Amino acid sequence: MKSEIIAVGSEMLTPVRQDTNSLYLTGKLNELGIAVIFKTIVGDRLQDLASVIRTALGRTDIVVLIGGLGPTEDDITREAVAEALSLSLRRDAAQVAALHARAAAWRRSMSANNLKQADVIDGAVVLPNPNGSAPGQWLDVAFGGFRKLILLIPGPPNECRPLFDIECLPRLSAIVPKRFIAKRTLRAAMIPESQADSLLAPIYTAYEDVETTILAHAGDIQFTLLCAKPNLEAARQRVDELAGRMEEALEDWLYSNNGDTLEQIVLYYLGLRQATLAIAESCTGGMISQRITSVPGASRSFLGGAVVYWDELKTTFADVSPALILQYGSVSAEVAKALAQGIRLRTGAALGVGVTGIAGPTGGTSVKPVGRVYIAVSDAQKSETIERTFRGDRDRIREWTTQQALDLIRRWLM
């Protein structure tokens, strides 16, 4: 079965706003075995939308319309569907009552415009909206001699997603051939994309019944394997087999075979070793700590640390000697190591990490260019320091440095 998603709203035709609901719905539709083969974004004009709806009905089985169901003049999705199919709209008494009850509960007066939301297309089933006043609609129609399905879903993400999950998914499951989905997510850190591709493409392209999608960002690569079969065991077996071969090829670039983030894995290993961590970061300015503390429960292993942006603070918070900074420069392997050792001793953590570098855009030299970073990790027995040079702008250099630091901690703990 094939579907088209139509996102309705002139704001999504500006340079600043993007439809994101369609990504969520695509994931859900795919899991049912329904492919999304077109996406269209259209503004708030009745004739434009009606024409887009007719085109979509001509080329797919299921048309999912997102947005344009609110109370304003601009909300024209109900009217456009009625127009496209020459159906009439009726004002539904139960919906009118529900709108009045909702307004009363919020102690708001209700303008006449609001009643638009009670208009139901002839033959449509009303889908209650758990988080808003505009209900969705489910319409099963004949078009060009075929049965077609049209779904009208409200646009705000906190209404769209639960309404789709609660009201549409069970109804869709009942009409598509039953399939079982097996899914796995592998994640790898700091492997060059081209190397990952040449390692893995020969493997996953041989599994035509498993859909492999790859997402790479700032030193992190995520592989999602998805297989749908009438039999769950068969689907799982294929995904597990492919995942096993990919894991083997990725060797220790791989850090997770169940979708966990790198910061989750670092915290997992810290918990396993009953070790604590503290970080002194300079050029990343708090980004590493911020990623680690984004994980709920991070406080079990992460003590904290210092943002040692000025050289004086490298001494104040991590006891790096001013003479060492003078001798090697604040961006040096020596200072990174002293930061790691100093923050560890000062906080009593089992593991200390020190990061210093040149994030740019200025401050580079011919010896130490913009993008040069030093990252050190240290425990009571030993230290390790690495040097890297990342390319790109300030944001990119900081993101890659953060990813590299987390990966260094992971490898240290493994």
Residues 352-381 interacting with a copy of itself (rule: CB under 8 A): 359-362
Stretch that binds a copy of itself, among 28-36, 62-70, 97-105, 131-139 (CB under 8 A): 28-36
Stretch that binds a copy of itself, among 168-176, 237-245, 247-255, 287-295 (CB under 8 A): 287-295
CB of 27 to a copy of itself, least distance (A): 3
CB of 169 to a copy of itself, least distance (A): 15
CA angle 272/276/277 to nearest 5° reads: 120
Half-sphere exposure of 274 (CA within 13 A, CB side): 0
CB of 314 to a copy of itself, least distance (A): 9
Stretch that binds a copy of itself, among 44-52, 159-167, 235-243, 254-262 (CB under 8 A): 44-52
The answer to whether residues 88 and 122 touch, using CB atoms and an 8 Å cutoff, is yes
Q: Residues 6 or more apart from 77 whose CB is under 8 A from it?
A: 8, 49, 65, 67, 68, 69, 152
Tokens 């709920």 sit on residue:
296
CB of 4 to a copy of itself, least distance (A): 10
Instruction: Indicate the burial class of 103 (C-beta count within 10 angstroms; 0-12, 13-18, 19 or more).
Output: middle
Among 1, 11, 218, 257, binds a copy of itself (CB under 8 A): 11
Q: Which is nearer to a copy of itself, 55 or 257 (CB)?
A: 55
The answer to whether residues 143 and 87 touch, using CB atoms and an 8 Å cutoff, is no
Helix (H, G, I), strand (E, B) or coil at 372: strand
User: What is the Cα–Cα distance from 277 to 144, expressed in whole angstroms?
Assistant: 65
- Is there binding between residue 43 and a copy of itself (CB under 8 A)? yes
User: What is the Cα–Cα distance from 6 to 155, expressed in whole angstroms?
Assistant: 11
Q: Scan residues 261-280 and list those touching a copy of itself (CB under 8 A).
A: 278-279
User: What is the Cα–Cα distance from 238 to 408, expressed in whole angstroms?
Assistant: 32
C-alpha distances (whole Å) from 225 to each of 239, 284, 315 are 6, 33, 48
Among 37, 175, 206, 272, binds a copy of itself (CB under 8 A): 37
Helix (H, G, I), strand (E, B) or coil at 359: coil
* Joined tokens for residue 143: 């078009």
User: What is the Cα–Cα distance from 142 to 15, expressed in whole angstroms?
Assistant: 37
CB of 137 to a copy of itself, least distance (A): 23
The site string for a copy of itself over 52-91 (x = CB under 8 A, - otherwise) reads: x--x---x--------------------------------
User: What is the Cα–Cα distance from 189 to 113, expressed in whole angstroms?
Assistant: 53
Q: Which is nearer to a copy of itself, 67 or 305 (CB)?
A: 305
Q: Which is nearer to a copy of itself, 20 or 365 (CB)?
A: 20
Three-state DSSP string of 184-228: EEEEEECCCHHHHHHHHHHHHCCCCCEEEEEEEECCEEEEEEEEE
Q: Which is nearer to a copy of itself, 43 or 249 (CB)?
A: 43
First to last CA, the chain: 45
- Is there binding between residue 39 and a copy of itself (CB under 8 A)? yes
The phi, psi pair for 260, rounded to 5°, reads -60, 150
Separation of CA 265 from chain center: 18
Q: Scan residues 204-233 and list those touching a copy of itself (CB under 8 A).
A: 213, 215, 224
Q: How many residues bind a copy of itself (CB under 8 A)?
A: 74
Q: Which is nearer to a copy of itself, 87 or 181 (CB)?
A: 181
Q: Which is nearer to a copy of itself, 48 or 165 (CB)?
A: 48
Q: Which is nearer to a copy of itself, 119 or 390 (CB)?
A: 390
CB of 287 to a copy of itself, least distance (A): 5
Q: Scan residues 289-348 and list those touching a copy of itself (CB under 8 A).
A: 289-290, 292-294, 296-299, 302-310, 312-313, 316-317, 346-348
CB of 302 to a copy of itself, least distance (A): 6
CB of 189 to a copy of itself, least distance (A): 18
* Joined tokens for residue 227: 């297989």
* Joined tokens for residue 376: 């050190």
CB of 60 to a copy of itself, least distance (A): 10
CB of 264 to a copy of itself, least distance (A): 13
Among 32, 42, 168, 353, binds a copy of itself (CB under 8 A): 42
How many C-beta atoms lie closer than 10 Å to residue 331's C-beta?
A: 20
